[in-house]
Amino acid sequence: MREPAEVFPADGSIPPEHGPGPVMEQRGYLCSGEIRQWDGPLQDVLSPICTPAPGCERRRIGGYPLLTGKEALEALDAACASQDGGRGEWPTMSVEGRIARLAEFASRMPAAREEVVRRMMWEIGKSLADSQKEFDRTVDYVRGTIEAMKDLDRASSRFAIEEGVIGQIRRAPLGVALCMGPFNYPLNETFTTLIPALLMGNSVIFKPPKLGVLLHEPLLEAFRGCFPKGVVNTVYGDGRTVVGPLMESGRVDVLAFIGTSRVADTLRRQHPRPHRLRCVLGLEAKNAAIVLPDADLDLAVRECALGSLSFNGQRCTALKMLFVHRSIAGEFLERLSAAVGSLRTGMPWEAGVAITPLPEDGKVDAMRGLIADAERGGARVVNPGGGEAAGTLMKPAVVFPVGPGMRLYTEEQFGPVVPVASFDSTEEPLEWIAGSDYGQQVSLFGRDPAKLASLIDPLVNQVCRVNLNSQCQRGPDTFPFTGRKDSAEGTLSVSDALRVFSIRTLVAAKETEENRGILSSMVRGRSSRFVSTDFIF
Ligand code: G3H
């Protein structure tokens, strides 16, 4: 691993195809079907990619509009107008019609790939390979959601007759959705809520995360061109200034938010009638790995290193606490330290890079604070150079033994620190998981089916995914992704998300001759988009 201070390049040694390009001053924002120009103040965008040592200063790569509550409420007015109390073009459009618009959007996305990926590297420090993966996975997600929508519609394109009542049961939009994604997956996790919300007929206001804003700009024109006026609107700026008025208006029907539970609770409380607000939340997590004495150690170490440190540990699904059986703890730590030491540190565009600069302000200090706290409790950094840093770049630290009373034992670190504890009885990690504020996933490493089964049965009641002999992760995107306690509300997957952003609604009629005639005339004459047996092929 190179020393952090050796890593930041001078301007002349950045490959031109991966450079930041001209300063990106974004002034446009999408409101009511037009890209409006903001002539007010901009928020500076500072890249985590610093100037070379010894300065190691963040480079200013651009700015984005610091909109005010006024522009936010204009976006809300536009979104509400496009719904028009259920009469709007978008919520009443046929499912096929909406699918065609989304398919058009998906077909326009690849043209923006190179620019979105470049901005992602410079704004949040994600590696080129991971940024490309995020982009491609998002396009696949859009296409997958379209297929899931077809399935959902096909299943509803028939009548049910029960107890003398004819019913046609479908799903309808909820109204206006406010979608806010996180900085670590700024494109993917914003789109995993925004796309299903749109496809179900909702109108959307989307606010990009504080970090990872400019990368959305190359897609603005496609949003403008593919959807009716007011169906997609963007707001930028300080969360309190622009999001507060939206929530306080009481006119947001769905809050789709990926971030911290503290912010989610504040936003929900701002809504004057919270019972009207549906929340879809992806929040903190502190996923544990439990490494049993008979585990394949090579595999466990590989998965734990990757699971803890992909994108520098900045994933909600990252492994954030490793419990290793005492009999193998020494050997595990030795191999884990070697695996962490072999991770390549560098700039996002470098081939094979694993550890890259951290985009959040003060992140290195925050990580060092957690390490210092654990050291005061008797733990130590076991890998050579762990925790050393220059500017925004930090060598990952493996910290052992982490135990009760240390912040690292319970707090989500969301960064390149790997806390390890040893255990004698599996009751210890089970107890830790039951007592944790979080309940997303767990990883089990072992070979004995009976032992694994005895852990799986209680664990599925505490978390929402048990991974056998592999790291925690969200994918495949067709699998349900959710969590318990402070980790999530609502379930996302290409099909579940369509349900989350819609409500069941039906047309029912007593089975009389007259009603039969009315309904069959509607179906034959195709006069209703809802009362219809059309089948999407
Ligand atoms: O940050 C949380 C992401 O949803 C995790 O997704 O497991 O594919 O990295 P991932």
pLDDT digits (tens, 9 = 90+) for 432-455: 999 999 999 999 999 999 999 999
pLDDT digits (tens, 9 = 90+) for 68-81: 999 999 999 999 99
- 385 and 317 within one domain: yes
Contacts of 450 (CB under 8 A, 6+ apart): none
Tell me, yes or no, whether 59 lies in a domain.
no
pLDDT digits (tens, 9 = 90+) for 256-283: 999 999 999 999 999 999 999 999 999 9
**Is the shortest distance between the CB of 314 and ligand 1 below 6 Å?**
no
- 367 and 431 within one domain: yes
Taking the centre of ligand 1 as the mean of its atom positions, its distance from the CA of residue 193, in whole angstroms, is: 14
Taking the centre of ligand 1 as the mean of its atom positions, its distance from the CA of residue 184, in whole angstroms, is: 9
Mean pLDDT of 333-355: 97
Q: How far is CA 276 from CA 180, 249, 271, in A?
A: 19, 12, 9
**Is the shortest distance between the CB of 126 and ligand 1 below 6 Å?**
no
- 332 and 273 within one domain: no
Residue whose CA lies nearest to ligand 1 atom number 7 = 473
- Contact 453/426 with Cβ under 8 angstroms? no
**Is the shortest distance between the CB of 137 and ligand 1 below 6 Å?**
no
Burial class (CB in 10 A: 0-12, 13-18, 19+), 288: buried
Listed residues 229, 258, 282: the one ending a domain: 282
- 308 and 162 within one domain: no
Query: Which two tokens mark 472?
Result: 């925690």
Tell me, yes or no, whether 145 lies in a domain.
yes
- 235 and 201 within one domain: yes
Query: Residue 22: its pLDDT value, please?
Result: 93
pLDDT band for position 1 (50/70/90)?
A: low
CA distance 41 to 258: 27
Tell me, yes or no, whether 273 lies in a domain.
yes
**Is the shortest distance between the CB of 311 and ligand 1 below 6 Å?**
no
- 457 and 367 within one domain: yes
Query: Residue 248: its pLDDT value, please?
Result: 98
**For residue 5, is pLDDT > 80?**
no
**For residue 486, is pLDDT > 90?**
yes
Listed residues 255, 282, 309: the one ending a domain: 282
**CATH code: domain of residue 406:** 3.40.309.10
Taking the centre of ligand 1 as the mean of its atom positions, its distance from the CA of residue 163, in whole angstroms, is: 46
Range of the domain at 449: 287-476
Listed residues 233, 255, 282: the one ending a domain: 282
Query: Residue 2: its pLDDT value, please?
Result: 73
Location of structure tokens 């301007």: 11
Mean pLDDT of 132-137: 98
**Is the shortest distance between the CB of 184 and ligand 1 below 6 Å?**
yes
**CATH code: domain of residue 217:** 3.40.605.10
- Domain count across the chain: 2
- 371 and 241 within one domain: no
Taking the centre of ligand 1 as the mean of its atom positions, its distance from the CA of residue 472, in whole angstroms, is: 9
The model's pTM: 0.97
**For residue 509, is pLDDT > 90?**
yes
Tell me, yes or no, whether 146 lies in a domain.
yes
**Is the shortest distance between the CB of 315 and ligand 1 below 6 Å?**
yes
Query: Residue 361: its pLDDT value, please?
Result: 97
Taking the centre of ligand 1 as the mean of its atom positions, its distance from the CA of residue 201, in whole angstroms, is: 26
- 324 and 182 within one domain: no
pLDDT band for position 17 (50/70/90)?
A: very high
Mean pLDDT of 302-325: 98
**Is the shortest distance between the CB of 317 and ligand 1 below 6 Å?**
yes
Burial class (CB in 10 A: 0-12, 13-18, 19+), 255: buried
**DSSP 8-state assignment for residue 481:** B
Taking the centre of ligand 1 as the mean of its atom positions, its distance from the CA of residue 316, in whole angstroms, is: 6
Query: Residue 458: its pLDDT value, please?
Result: 98
Tell me, yes or no, whether 428 lies in a domain.
yes
Tell me, yes or no, whether 523 lies in a domain.
no
How high does pLDDT run on average in the chain?
Answer: 97
Tell me, yes or no, whether 312 lies in a domain.
yes
- 389 and 254 within one domain: no
Query: Residue 6: its pLDDT value, please?
Result: 86
Query: Residue 467: its pLDDT value, please?
Result: 98
pLDDT digits (tens, 9 = 90+) for 150-184: 999 999 999 999 999 999 999 999 999 999 999 99
Tell me, yes or no, whether 414 lies in a domain.
yes
Taking the centre of ligand 1 as the mean of its atom positions, its distance from the CA of residue 537, in whole angstroms, is: 32
Query: Residue 379: its pLDDT value, please?
Result: 98
- 200 and 84 within one domain: yes
Query: Residue 4: its pLDDT value, please?
Result: 76
- 328 and 191 within one domain: no
- 314 and 260 within one domain: no
Mean pLDDT of 285-302: 98
Which of 126, 183, 185, 487 for mutating ligand 1's site (highest number of atoms within 8 Å of CB)?
A: 185
